[in-house]
Amino acid sequence: MNDQQLLRYSRHILLTEIGIEGQEKLIGTHALIIGAGGLGSPVALFLAASGVGTLTICDNDTVDLTNLQRQILHRTASIGKNKVDSARDAIADINPDVRVHNLKERVESERLLELVAQADVVLDCSDNFNTRYALNRACVQLKKPLVSGAAIRFGGQVTVFDFRQEHSPCYHCLYPENTEHEDTRCAEMGVFAPLVGIVGSLQAAEALKLLLEVGTSLCGKLVLIDTLHSGLRTIKLSRDVHCPVCK
């Protein structure tokens, strides 16, 4: 690291769990973020500010006025712009050393496998079950750690699926794909603005711990957040021995 980087990351370096060695490790890592909306916003900002060297951000949507209530990556001047371009610009303002691959696409199948293979950690910040299931299958196949978050109305959840661990459950274990699930979108149900910040910040924290190999992750645990009644609880997740995805 150069002198500017030593100053930029000095508060990380002061942490014995990180130090110079850990910060240098972060600079050499690559995170894949699927979604640049409510969850992807704090995830991208915190990973960039923390010094993760390369971020690949995928989203095929454009910035809309209704996004600005909670999607803190974007500004009023960004309305009409591709979200990934807006994200790239915001990250450059915070940390120009971070390499950003902004992909204006909804990635699927082989393309998704290609992107997951390049990443050290994957963050699911999407808003639909089809993407979550596809991302889960790709991470299972390639044994990449997956940090999953969701938020709607006043409630959210965060967990980690670390397929490097033999007994890790997967997203299919939590929400079986053959079960009826209705995608609940913010446009229909609404979402409390700070909630996505809380969920996304927890996702970023879990991703950083995985990259640094410090602390204890949420693998095998699901954090449930109730911002309306100030509730926070953690429940245990177990791998489904009959799961057709991660068996």
- Per-block mean pLDDT, blocks of 10 residues, the chain (247 long): 96 97 98 97 98 97 97 97 97 97 89 96 94 96 98 97 95 86 71 98 98 97 98 96 92
Q: Which residue type, as a one-letter code, is found at position 107?
A: V
**DSSP H helical ranges for the chain:** 3-8, 10-13, 19-27, 40-50, 83-94, 109-118, 129-142, 171-174, 186-189, 193-212
Q: Within its chain, how far is the Cα of 130 from the centroid?
A: 16
> pTM, whole model, 2 decimals?
0.95
Report the pLDDT value the prediction gives residue 180, as an integer from 0 to 100: 62
Structure tokens at 198: 């809380």
Ordered by where they begin, the domains of the chain are 3-236 (3.40.50.720)
pLDDT at 62: 97
Would you state the pLDDT for residue 182?
Answer: 62
Query: Could you tell me if 60 and 34 are in contact, meaning their C-beta atoms sit under 8 angstroms apart?
Result: no
121-124, strands of its sheet edge to edge: 99-103, 54-58, 30-34, 121-124, 146-152, 155-161, 221-226, 231-236
Contact 32/118 with Cβ under 8 angstroms?
yes
